[in-house]
Structures are given as C-alpha cells and as structure tokens.
Homo-oligomer: A and B are copies of this chain.
C-alpha cells in the first residue's frame, strides 16, 4: 500500500480519491463515542491535519479511542473526498497501527503556550502549529537561496568555519582550542604556547566568509557562501544570536550597481518562492503573528527598489521635522528608527542607501573619489530596516594597503587577500544577508530565538 505524506494528499487529493492509502503521523485531536471516532493527525509535511474516521468494527477500537495527544499512529484506509465539508477529504480507517504512545504529561497540550515556554522544550516545539510552519518556511527559504544562485551559475563555496584571521578587523570572536584549560602550555617567556594547540596557532570561529569568498570570486566570477557564522557579543536582544547563518554572494567584474541589482533580485526571488510554495503558512502568519505580513511581502516582491545616497538620506532626515531618539548628523551610523522612517514614510518601498562615510564602514570597502565615503550599500525594507549590507570591494592594491595601515591592522595578516589584487584583480562587489533576519521578515516572528531550531545566545546553549 502506498505510504502518502499529508502534503501529497492535499496537493493531489483527486489522485488518491477512493484509493486505499497509508498515512502516518502524530495525533493532534481525538474525539470518540461508543461507536465511532475522529482523529486529526499531522505528519509535519504540511500545515493542515488529515481527519481520520474510525468505527467500532476496527480491531483495536477501544485502544485507539483512548489514545493520547501526540501518540504516533499509522492509518490504512480509503480516502473519501468530502466536497462542501469543513475538510476536503477524510480517511476511513480500516486499520490503525499504534506506533508510539505519548505520556499524559506531554507538555504541548492544546492550550496556547508562550514562545518563552516553548523555547524550553525546543525538542518538541516544532510539533506546534507555529513552529512547524516557521521551520518549514526556513527550509524553503534556504532552498530558494540555493536555487536562485545556482540558476545564475554561481559557485557555492564553503568558506572555513575555523579561522586564524578576523575578517572585519573588529568583532568579538569565540576561541577554539584543544589545550587542557587546567594546564595551558606556556612558552619560556610565560606566554600561551599556541604551537601546542591543535592548529599550532590561535584560532577562532568565523564572523564572515567574505575574504575567502573574494578569493573564489576572482576564480569563478560569481560565487556565494551559505553557512554558519558566529559573534561572541554579549548582547541579549531579540535580534542577535551567537550562532546564525549567513549568505554572502561575491561577484567579479561588477560594481556597486550590479551588487544592488543582485540583492534586489534575490530578495524578490525568495519572497516569491515562499508565497508560491508556502501559501498556507503565510496565511497563518498573517492571521496570527503579524497582520500586515502578506501585503508587505507582496509589496516588496513587486516594487522597484529605491536608491538614495547616505548624504541625501541625512539631509532628508534632518529636514523632515521628525524627532528621533538618536539625533541625525552626517557621520552617524543610521539607527533602525532612521532606516524605518526612510523606507516606510519617505520612500514607501525597499530602499538602498549608498556611499557611507568611510569611518563607519570596514577597511575593504572601495574608497570613493571624494575620499570621504565608500561604495557601500545597505538595503532597508519596511517593517525592520536593514536586511542586507554590502559594498564594492577595494581592488586597488595601494589604496587597500593605506586603509589597512590607517586602521592599525597588520598587513601580513592579509598577505593572501592583498595578493588577490596583485594577480589580475578586478572590480568586484558582494553583500551579506543574515539568513535568520530573512526568516523573521517572511514569517513576522520577532525574536531570532524562535526561527533557529536550537538557538545559541549569551548564557544559553541548551540541547
């Protein structure tokens, strides 16, 4: 007998009508009387449940009648279409095999639970409606990203997680070691002897794969990374995690304008993919998590993104008459309140802000002719503000070396990065998309802890 996933059943119910099929899943609800009963089962492949009808002719009718929520069963039976009824079909059980019982203290009973509580049972929360939907969407968005770049011939590049260098020249990093912390090897001079460590040197968890991605863009023209990155920032906010995934495309023979076009295409592609492949989930989020979600997503997917320079943006903000918590002055880093005002109130659509003061951006961004700004861009979207940050990279060896010196970094730490400019360097650009931020954007979920299966934040690495 064919084993069918619930998703297949909803997508192709005509095909299975009047057929004998086998469905497995976990019990969401069960009502039974003396002669018959109804079970809603869910197998996690789809947002909706399947209604199973069972009758007293069933061999283990009594046992089934008493099954607890979350017990797992396999049902064999005939699929009957029920046009006009609440659900489009039901499964008339001829056999119900009990796979595993669920103890009565199962913590996910029907009543609503707070997200805070659900985080303490991260191994069970994907069985709830909300988290089931969130993590299916997370999977779809990940695939949409791969599909987008692969269709365009980009080479997926696995940049290293363990690194001896600090890309941003700042960033708080996690140290990796196999040294015995109770007996750290020391040199004769009393310093830590990293030669004794696994890699023979200090190593950390990566904060970005960009520098390595640049090396690969200068071989494959268009590449992207998609992997975990880490920040040891001691910040306890709803938007920061110590471990998160990042997407970093890097394109050669390309300038800032190409970079912006790529970011716009990618964001639209992701949103369209989710709207098309997870319509039930988006309806649910729109009803129960964030009322304006669907409209906002459609708006973003169909708008032409705007563009404004940082200098113009500062002008607009200074002249708009609105009181901001953080005062606006040329040279400041834009705060979320400024970003949201620009994209939501002024431009009313997604907006690229370009050409930021060099002082607030990283050393590798390309210096503009004014010598004051760099060819950077941030993409701001209604609802959250910045979602993508990128730049054209400095391809001129002498300018890059001066910037490294200016910032007090060590040139020898970047020997291979500098060599990329010596051996056929080209104009190139790239950006980073925080993957979890994207998931939050398409689901309306406001805490990053609720879009990561087992989140790692300050003080927390459970499960």
Given A228-B227, A423-B103, A142 and B156 contact (CB-CB distance below 8 Å): yes
Residues of A184-241 at the interface with B, using a CB-CB cut-off of 8 Å, are 184, 192, 198-201, 203, 205, 212, 215-216, 218-222, 227-228, 230, 232, 234
Cβ-defined contact, A198 with B99, below 8 A: no
Tell me whether A124 is interfacial, beta carbon within 8 Å.
yes
With a cutoff of 8 Å between Cβ atoms, the chain B residues found around residue A44 in the complex are: 155, 219-221
A245 at the binding interface (Cβ < 8 Å): yes
Chain B residues with CB under 8 A of A139? 150, 154-157
Is there contact, CB below 8 Å, between B423 and A70?
yes
A113 within 8 A of B: no
On whether the beta carbons of A26 and B461 are closer than 8 Å, the reply is no
Interface size grouping (class) on chain A: 35 or more
Give the residues in chain B near A70, CB-CB below 8 Å. 423-424
Chain B residue at smallest Cβ distance from A277: B150
Choose, from A49-57, A175-183, A319-327, A335-343, the stretch at the interface.
A175-183
Please state the number of chain copies in the assembly: 2
Min CB–CB distance A160 → chain B (angstroms)? 5
Q: Indicate if the CB atoms of A199 and B460 lie closer than 8 Å.
A: yes
Q: Given A162-B243, A242-B162, A420 and B199 touching (CB < 8 A)? A: no
> Taking the complex as formed, is A36 at the interface, i.e. its CB lies under 8 A from any CB of chain B?
no
Q: Are B424 and A221 in contact (CB under 8 A)?
A: no
CB distance from A66 to the nearest CB of B (A): 14
Task: Point out the residue from B142, B192, B416 that lies within 8 Å of A123, measured CB to CB.
Answer: B416
A125 to chain B, nearest CB (A): 8
Stretch among A80-88, A262-270, A375-383, A449-457 lining the B interface: A449-457
Tell me if B426 and A72 are in contact (CB < 8 A).
yes
Is A115 an interface residue when CB atoms closer than 8 A count as contact? no
Question: Contacts A72-B425, A253-B99 known; A178 to B182 CB distance under 8 Å?
Answer: no
Q: Which 10 A-B pairs have the closest CB atoms?
A: A44-B220, A126-B219, A24-B253, A199-B461, A100-B425, A139-B156, A123-B215, A102-B424, A70-B424, A123-B416
* Cross-chain pairs A/B with CB under 8 angstroms, 30 sampled: A24-B252, A24-B253, A26-B424, A44-B155, A45-B221, A102-B424, A122-B215, A123-B416, A124-B419, A132-B220, A135-B157, A135-B219, A139-B150, A139-B154, A142-B156, A143-B146, A143-B150, A157-B453, A160-B243, A160-B454, A162-B243, A162-B461, A164-B463, A175-B179, A175-B181, A181-B192, A199-B456, A200-B459, A212-B454, A227-B227
Given contacts A100-B425, A163-B461, 19 further A-B contacts (CB under 8 A): A5-B153, A5-B221, A24-B221, A124-B215, A142-B158, A158-B453, A160-B243, A160-B454, A160-B456, A161-B243, A175-B176, A181-B181, A198-B232, A199-B456, A200-B459, A200-B461, A212-B463, A215-B463, A227-B228
